[in-house]
Structure 1
Amino acid sequence: MRTPVLLILSAAILAACGGDPGAGAPTAASSPAAADAAAVAPTGGPVELKAMLDDWWELQLQRNPILATAVGDLRYNDQLPDMFSAEVREQAMADTREYLARARSIDPAKLDGQDLLSWEIFVRDREESIAGEAFPAWMMPLHQMGNYGSFFAQLGSGQSLQPFRETKHYDDFLARIARFPVLNDSAIASLRAGIEAGVVLPKPVVEKLIPQFAAHVVERAEDSVFWGPVAAFPDAVPAAERERLTAAYREAIAAQLVPAYAKMRDFLRDEYLPAARASVGLSALPDGRAWYAYMVRQQTTTGLTPEEIHRFGLDEVARILGEMNAVREQVGFAGDLPAFFQHLQEDPQFYFGSEEEALQAYRDIQQKINARIPQLFDVFPKADYEVRAVEAFRAESEAGASYMAPAPDGSRPGIFYLNTFNLKAQPKFLVETLSIHEASPGHHFQIAIQQEIEDLPAFRRFGGYTAFAEGWALYAESLGKEMGLFEDPYQWYGRLSDEQLRAMRLVVDTGLHYYGWTREQAIDYMKANSSMAESDIVAEVERYIAMPGQALAYKVGQREIRSLREEAERELGDRFDVKAFHRQVLIDGALPMDVLASKIRAWIATEKSRPD
């Protein structure tokens, strides 16, 4: 249930080059670069701001051609820089410092409206990136939930961002394939540097990574996921070119891709796994507690501490357990709550019999929800979405569901990915809540609307914050009853089950990375407080191990958005219009939680002063 806003999605291949800055650094205001930038006398205004933001975006497309592909700009479609190299990392930080100084040369007093909002967000984000430089995230450039190997395979499958609509597109990707071994070698070099420094991944993460790379070590090119575009040439590719491209792809898969994937598989298995750590929390690494505190701040975009989040999680888990017990009583189940959990895990009536049955259930609920959304919204995305199964090569370690944004040019719809690897992890009672979260009015609704706001600067149209996107999706789940859903008590239990997962994450993530919990402690806690399948619990816990702090964003973001709605309802009374509130949350794209709060409070003040 991750958030693939395009900029975040492209970061799957950039995780080690400074785009995933780690955690717990000094505050942005205390960094030398921030101080130097702040010393520049501000003179610029809106014209200079626009020029700077345009220049920054063009630079990002050049530095990260995958991002360019993702947003439909194909000028760099044949490029794949060595994103894990020290040179690229250093250049990224130099760019960040240069543009922070340039932003500081603009006087915010001369800005208003969207310009001021863009300036505040831009400066904030650059300062956060500089703060994250204190931590060596680049030494752990991959994990089982997001790595360049699986991401590149998605690109090459012909079912993702990389276009394969004409001959040039096929040649473009051949050029990217030629650069893949270089990227692979740099990733190995980064991991080796981590071994030397004692900054290594936990063993459970490495054990999940090995089969992900091994999946692409095939005997025949036809058995590779990269053969997909060759097996489905579009009409626009002439016969003569098909013959040439078929031979070229066969050679590229055999001579470049398979050896590279095998090299990483062997390195992870033979050299890295023996050096991987038995501990699982970030606090076990050098300066790990500070690192984690920063990750918390980065992911939640709030000033909450790990201790505060842990306590909030414990309270929420207890509250939701009480509501689950009420459902048990409502459906007349005679046993206690643990027995009810076991019943829900074991009774076949709660599970799908096939992948297609599961996919069809989500396609059916798509139509039902779409018909009810106008009750609460007056802004809507133009793009549609479709429901697909997660590809087999990444399904075993993937989240239960995820979302990929539509192509900005309308050439591809949004995609709601359902993981059907283990149907026992996809109970029927999750259908309504999971569809709301991943699709509409959750991720698809919010992200597609954001991309379609053409007046926003590109870094805001295609950027994002986990707390906003995931907080919105979880808040959207809470709208189900207002839309007339969750009438079946088991579907309501599914909503509670989903919220309980997010509440347990607050406890488990902070437990693992701040309080020193073991993997087994985290698994036992989730088993005791939910009806989730054990395989799903293990995958979730290992996700939190791999992505410190990310799982906190959901419940924290939801609480912030819900709190702002309640504040608006109190302050505006009869003037409160839920459609207007939702419009205000959505129409400026993703925002840090503190910026969103300021914006909504300004809107409340305007509404209060408006004449009747």
Structure 2
Amino acid sequence: MFRAVLLVVMGSIAMLPVTAEAEKRDATATALHALIQREWQYQLEHSPTYASVSGDRRWNDRWDDLSLKAIEADHQHNLQVVAQVKKLDRKKLSAADQLNHDLFLHDHELWVEEHRFKTYLMPSNHMGGLPEGIKQPPGVQTAYQLADTLRFDTIQDYEEWVTRLQRFGTYVDQVMALMREGLREGRVHPQVVLKRMPPQVEKQLVDAPEKSAFHGPFTRFPASIPAAEQQRLTAAGRAAIAQGVLPALKRYHQFLTEEYLPKGTEQVGIWQLPEGEALYALLARRFTTTSLTPDEIHALGLSEVKRIRAEMEAVKAKAGFKGPLEDFFRFLLTDSRFYYRTGDELLTRYRSLSKRIDPLLVKLFKTLPRQPYGVEPTPETMAPDATTGFYYPGATDGSRAGTYLVNLYRPETRPRWEMVPLTLHEAVPGHHLQTSLSAEQTGIPDFRRFGYHVAYGEGWALYCETLGDELGLYEDPYDKFGQLTYDMWRAVRLVVDTGMHVKRWTRQQALDFFMANSPRQELDVTNEIDRYIAWPAQALAYKVGQLKIRELRTRAEKELGPRFDVREFHDVVLLDGSLPLDVLEAKVQGWVAARKAAK
């Protein structure tokens, strides 16, 4: 059967037949697009906290359903989606849709594969929950952060928050049920991680609802909500916190201290879990988006540590320091000139750095995001256990800007020389440019606009730390040494993460190796090591991604010579969403070939 399309030929309209083959191609593309869109809506509906943080308010009254029944239903759904995608004839798709097809299938196949390892039975740790991704709901002890990230403009917003608070107890009970099942199956974190959790919860066991972080929205009503409604909603919120939230947190705290913590393992490393080595290999593949084995990653880390130490020696000489590198480390960590006295001074410096970098970006970037960002302190309740800084993406509806959170806890442990690379990584041009520009690409499906491959995103941010040289930010040798320190930090990760989880290193071995190769404060090093214990393989992504992006740039510079434009290169890397590293490599190679062919 034929259908007709219109073709303008020399001013007249002709009717041309469309072949059955062309119809099949169109039907395949239509089916793929419909499936992708339907599944994106499914993921949002079944991950309501992710949807809320992203700015989609349709399920603002819910927490994620973490019952075993719901988890199994989601798994069966993913199996069905994989089967549906595989029924589509990939050859009948355009090159762009073949990429959409492959990335979409890859995500679902990975979820299916990971399900058999039952990582969902370890849903909570001192970092909150599992690492990045739409399927990672918040941990119990960090759930309060939702109060500061959602938009509260209308009566409905507050009523939905009250309902969410009322349902918090069910959410906590589901988390505890998963953790109890994890105990039965021998899937539990080491005690060194678990010991950090009860104090985090204890801080939230306040003696009055209005002192709870969950109460925050009721302290900042917009003027458009009448006073009587404000009083009604505040009373409802306090009742929900008193009757639902606080009792649930007390149950959770008691569960952690009396039931869960004593069962934690004394040794560290995922190798202790059922099929632990196979799980780590999967996680390494997932987070690096490569086929590198743990042994190969460990060797790569050792090689990078050696290379960066040589660069450190050169910068140490430039700074005029005469002693060995270990003494230079000690000097950087102990000399008062490198520290601010107060958290306020730290915050002021971070904000001034961001303002200094912003106008320089046009030197290296052709396309900049429309969404703004701000610099704010890490919440006090999580600061003692949090890293030096991190980025929180803005809402897709524009209701919340991106936020660069900086840790002001114990400023005497936070040296000035680490501030430039940290800002380049977490704010601009690192995570803010990458996530914001990705979200603004309306020509790609939503799962790619808002998806996140850790090796790409963190690799990009680590690559951006090196751009400080081109932006003139490392003229001070101490700032440059700070960048090398951060580079070393990520190289060390490759060694200690694989060391603990595969080679059965002790936690102390990992701490010693880190301290011997990086002038970072012991508090930071300890927090980092415990993060790697709680999130196996996640930290591998940074250095692997950075090396690939730098390799692609170096190769493009060599092949294009004077025709290489760094601003165009950055567009190629950034303007197609978050990609696996092999896909990114093919994209850059295609751009280089096109540039070489152009006359």
Fold-level similarity (TM above 0.5): yes
Per-residue deviation at 1:518? 0.7
**Structure 2 segments unaligned to the other structure (5+ residues):** 1-23, 130-138
Question: Which of the numbers 323, 328, 333 marks the counterpart of 1:335?
Answer: 323
**Structure 1 segments unaligned to the other structure (5+ residues):** 1-40
8 A Cα contact 1:42 1:105, kept in partner: no
Per-residue deviation at 1:288? 0.8
Is residue 47 of structure 2 the alignment partner of residue 64 of structure 1?
yes
**What does residue 547 of structure 1 align with?**
535
Per-residue deviation at 1:422? 2.5
**What does residue 266 of structure 1 align with?**
254
Per-residue deviation at 1:271? 0.9
Q: Structure 2: how far apart are the matches of 1:202 and 1:458?
A: 37
Q: Structure 1: how far apart are the matches of 2:276 and 2:509?
A: 20
Bigger shift: residues 519-528 or 418-427: 418-427
1:377-428 CA distances to partner (integer Å, 9 max, x unpaired)? 1011001110001101111111211101111122211000001112234211
Bigger shift: residues 43-52 or 195-204: 43-52
Per-residue deviation at 1:150? 3.3
Q: Structure 2: how far apart are the matches of 1:55 and 1:248?
A: 36
Count of residues paired in the alignment: 567
Q: Structure 2: how far apart are the matches of 1:92 and 1:572?
A: 48
1:146-199 CA distances to partner (integer Å, 9 max, x unpaired)? 23223320012xx21x22222111110111111111111111111111111111
Q: Structure 2: how far apart are the matches of 1:210 and 1:285?
A: 23
8 A Cα contact 1:42 1:106, kept in partner: no
Bigger shift: residues 394-403 or 321-330: 321-330
In the superposition, relative to structure 1, how do residues 515 and 424 fare at CA in structure 2: closer, same or farther (>3 Å)?
Answer: farther
1:507-553 CA distances to partner (integer Å, 9 max, x unpaired)? 01000101001111111111111111101110000000000000000
SS of residue in 2 equivalent to 1:75: coil
1:40-87 CA distances to partner (integer Å, 9 max, x unpaired)? x999522111111111111112111122212222111112242x2111
Q: What TM-score do the two structures reach when normalised by structure 2?
A: 0.92
8 A Cα contact 1:407 1:414, kept in partner: yes
Q: What TM-score do the two structures reach when normalised by structure 1?
A: 0.91
Bigger shift: residues 259-268 or 538-547: 259-268
Q: Structure 1: how far apart are the matches of 2:386 and 2:284?
A: 23
1:276-304 CA distances to partner (integer Å, 9 max, x unpaired)? 11111001112111110111000000010
- How do residues 25-424 of structure 1 correspond to structure 2 at under 5 angstroms? 44-82=27-65, 84-147=66-129, 148-156=139-147, 159-160=148-149, 162-424=150-412
Q: Structure 2: how far apart are the matches of 1:146 and 1:425?
A: 23
In the superposition, relative to structure 1, how do residues 71 and 399 fare at CA in structure 2: closer, same or farther (>3 Å)?
Answer: same
Q: Structure 2: how far apart are the matches of 1:567 and 1:214?
A: 53
Q: What is the identity, as a one-letter code, of the residue corresponding to 1:163?
A: R
Q: Structure 2: how far apart are the matches of 1:307 and 1:71?
A: 37
8 A Cα contact 2:25 2:93, kept in partner: no
The ranges of structure 1 where at least 4 consecutive aligned residues each deviate by more than 3 angstroms after the TM superposition are 41-44
Q: What is the identity, as a one-letter code, of the residue corresponding to 1:266?
A: Q
SS of residue in 2 equivalent to 1:274: helix
1:107-135 CA distances to partner (integer Å, 9 max, x unpaired)? 22222243222111001111111111220
Q: Structure 1: how far apart are the matches of 2:369 and 2:208?
A: 43
Q: What RMSD, in angstroms, separates the aligned Cα atoms of the two structures?
A: 1.5
Larger gyration radius, structure 1 or structure 2: 2
Q: What is the identity, as a one-letter code, of the residue corresponding to 1:111?
A: L
Identity score, percent: 41
Per-residue deviation at 1:266? 0.9
8 A Cα contact 2:205 2:246, kept in partner: yes
Q: Structure 2: how far apart are the matches of 1:563 and 1:47?
A: 37
8 A Cα contact 2:56 2:397, kept in partner: no
Is residue 544 of structure 2 the alignment partner of residue 561 of structure 1?
no
SS of residue in 1 equivalent to 2:52: helix
Q: Structure 2: how far apart are the matches of 1:43 and 1:86?
A: 40
8 A Cα contact 2:394 2:403, kept in partner: yes
8 A Cα contact 2:341 2:412, kept in partner: no
Q: Structure 1: how far apart are the matches of 2:260 and 2:546?
A: 38
Q: Structure 2: how far apart are the matches of 1:589 and 1:486?
A: 29
SS of residue in 1 equivalent to 2:100: helix
8 A Cα contact 2:165 2:237, kept in partner: no
SS of residue in 1 equivalent to 2:382: helix
Q: Structure 1: how far apart are the matches of 2:413 and 2:274?
A: 36
Question: Which of the numbers 470, 483, 498 marks the counterpart of 2:471?
Answer: 483
Higher relative contact order (CA 8 A, sep 6+): 1
